[in-house]
Amino acid sequence: MLTNTKLQWFDKRYLLLMVLLMLPIQQSIAAYNIGPDDVLRISVYGYDDLRTETRVSADGRITFPLIGEVNASGKSSIELEEDIAVRLIKGGFIHDAQVSVSVLNNVSQQVSVLGHVNRPGRYPLDSNSSVVDLIAMAEGIDELGDSKVIVTRTVNGKSQKHELDLKAYLEDVGNTVPFKVQQGDQIYVPKAPMFYIYGEVQHPGSYRVEPDASVMKALPLGGGLTLRGTENGITIKRKDKSGTLQEIDVDLDDAVLKDDVIYVGERWF
């Protein structure tokens, strides 16, 4: 049986553990910066008549009873709480103002995830969000999506594009710095490079171009040759630098490139 002393010690240890577990959550909330069009709920303890739900204006301001306009853009919830509390106290309205600010709709801090993901859309952003985090929120890359992701970012009015290799990052997490996402970024997952195979193969169709892809590795993807197919009758249709389609004879060790069309011919006897 636990004595009262042991129970008190256990309660203190349990309380300390709960505080430590809550720290990352509190830090994440504190790190969120309020922006235009965000919807806020503001309340003051003991003053229900001051409870307010308001949308941040395009210039980053809100209006709160008694104190008027307050600049909210760029502040965390905690910073805005302190700002409103100080102004209520200094204005002589409330002696010990305890203000609570919660973000009901964080419109300003959302990022678009588009292209070949399972759930394209807009997703919430915090100060620690990386491209991998946002792709995970979109439920991952679909079966046609590439492992190379394009992030479009506007800096000083100019658009910048960053191409990121998610596969390289996930295979070497310890030595790769995560690409942090910023407000206004657009994440796009393009279609993976594909090649096409038809003719005397079991499963003609389109397939992903994998690293070190060769004709020899491509044939099994198409289910292998039919009984009438021959490795001696393989050609590739490929566009040259001018965009003209060329037909070339290939060896089994030759590389397969994006948009190649592999044709397996029929044996003569």
Residue 121 region, left (φ>0) first, then alpha (ψ -120 to 50), else beta? left
Q: What is the pLDDT of residues 15-70, one digit of tens each?
A: 333 333 333 333 344 446 788 888 999 999 999 999 999 999 989 899 999 999 99
194-266 and 108-189 share a CATH fold: yes
Longest dimension (CA), the chain: 101
Closest by CA position to 107, among listed 36, 186, 182: 36
| 108-189 placed in CATH 3.30.300.90 | no
Helix (H) or strand (E) holding 6: helix 4-31
* Least confidently predicted of 112-126, 165-179, 229-243: 165-179
Which of 12-16, 120-124, 127-131, 153-157 ranks highest by mean pLDDT?
120-124
Q: 């295979």: which residue's tokens?
A: 171
Domain boundaries of the chain, sorted by first residue: 31-105, 108-189, 194-266
| pTM, entire model | 0.60
Average pLDDT, the chain: 83
Tokens 């008694």 belong to residue: 66
Portion of the chain with pLDDT greater than 70, in percent: 86
Q: What's the pLDDT score for residue 152?
A: 93
Separation of alpha carbons 239 and 44, rounded Å: 68
Average pLDDT of span 201-215: 90
Which residue reads 């096409």 in tokens? Answer: 196
Give me the residue label for tokens 């490929």: 238
Question: Contact, 238 vs 256, CB < 8 A?
Answer: no
CA distance 65 to 88: 10
Domain 194-266 sits in CATH 3.10.560.10? yes
Given the DSSP bridges, would you call strands 158-165 and 148-155 parallel, antiparallel or unpaired? antiparallel
Q: Which amino acid is at 93?
A: F
State the pairing for strand pair 47-55/158-165: unpaired
Q: Under CATH, which number does the domain 31-105 receive?
A: 3.30.1950.10
DSSP 211-231: TT-BHHHHHHHTT-B-TTEEE
* Pairing of the two strands 186-189 and 194-199: unpaired
Strands (E) in 17-109, as ranges, are: 39-44, 47-55, 61-64, 68-71, 99-105
The confidence band for 269, taking pLDDT boundaries of 50, 70 and 90, is low
Q: Are strands 194-199 and 121-124 parallel, antiparallel or unpaired?
A: unpaired
Number of H helices, E strands in the chain: 5, 15
